[in-house]
Amino acid sequence: MKPLAIPTRRAVAAALVAAPALLHGRALAAGRPVTVASLLGEDKPETKIWRRIAEILARTAPGRFDLRIVPNAALGGEKEVAEGLRLGSIQASLSTTSALSGWVPQGQILDLPFLFRDRDHLRRVLAGPLGTELKTQYEAQGFVVLGFINYGARHLLAKEPLTTPASVKGKRIRVIQSPLHTALWSGLGAYPTPIPIPEAYNALKTGVVDCMDLTKSAYVGFRLHEVVPCLIETGHIWASGVVMVAAPFWKGLTPQDREALAAAAAEGVTYFDELMRADEDASMAKALAEGGKVFQPEDRPGWQAGARKVWAAFAPELGGIDRIEMIANSA
């Protein structure tokens, strides 16, 4: 008897991408195939935005696009997906700007801790010259940004209430693969450990790391409240993101199709923001019902002092401290 073959993630992903065409037949075959990677499931904004964009395109550009949406990180974490866009195996996805910092380090300005006061402050800044500048820089690296999104504020997640800057010292913290995030937590005395988000749950469960930071929606989306039940509302970074498509794919579209896709993405951005606000509330209700606890940070001036060190360290490559201060103080 032959041994049972176990499908690889690549094989599973390929089947998921092909499935829509098999299910819907010729109706979808006529459209341009668009492989879309999503980190989370069908119930989360990260996937729902693409379902909405597909619905819009079905009305505004009937038969011209075939969005094959692959959820639950089946195509990998953010870094793997970004590489897929650059290689052409994936055509569209969302991404945090943090995950793209290896290609566009200037985008780290959006990750400066305690830079933005609230969602509206961040939105206004990105609607101005900074947003235009960053879009140009992302496109030069193979990522065409159709819009900026906001995943919400990042908060500290831990197995115990780490409410003061001093309490973080000596802790092993999972970070995204970003020099700025590494510098932030190193400066507070923690030991940053870069780990892809799909592997964070097991790393926390097995003790590879003690804590991490993330948005409230993703906290529950990745079931992290099961292993790090304490959420400390530091709100230290507003997690900016992009709706992006691969540059070769974009360049291969007709002007008419570009216009249709850009318009659908713009509507999707507004929809995503509405979904994210509601999902944060629903996510935290679920976390609290399943044993999660919320704590307020103590010694906020101490947290902000640590942030200022990061501002100073990264200012030379982000346009100077005067520019950072101008953004922080902008109306």
Given a contact cutoff of 8 angstroms between Cβ atoms, the answer to whether 268 and 53 are in contact is yes
28 pLDDT higher than 60:
no
Question: What contacts 235, CB < 8 A, 6 or more positions away?
Answer: 153, 154, 155
pTM of the model: 0.82
According to the model, what pLDDT value does residue 7 have? 40
| Tokens standing for residue 192 | 């940053």
pLDDT of residue 35: 98
Distance CA(322)–CA(320), nearest Å, equals 5
DSSP element (H, E) containing 241: strand 230-246
For the segment 111-130, the average pLDDT, to the nearest whole number, is 94
- Give the pLDDT band of residue 195 (cuts 50, 70, 90): very high
**Which pLDDT does position 176 carry in this prediction?**
87
State the pLDDT at residue 331: 74
165's tokens: 């800057």
Which CATH number among 3.40.190.170, 3.20.20.150, 3.40.50.970, 3.30.360.10 corresponds to the domain 9-329? 3.40.190.170
pLDDT at site 30: 61
CA 19 – CA 258 distance, rounded (Å): 25
The domain spans of the chain are 9-329
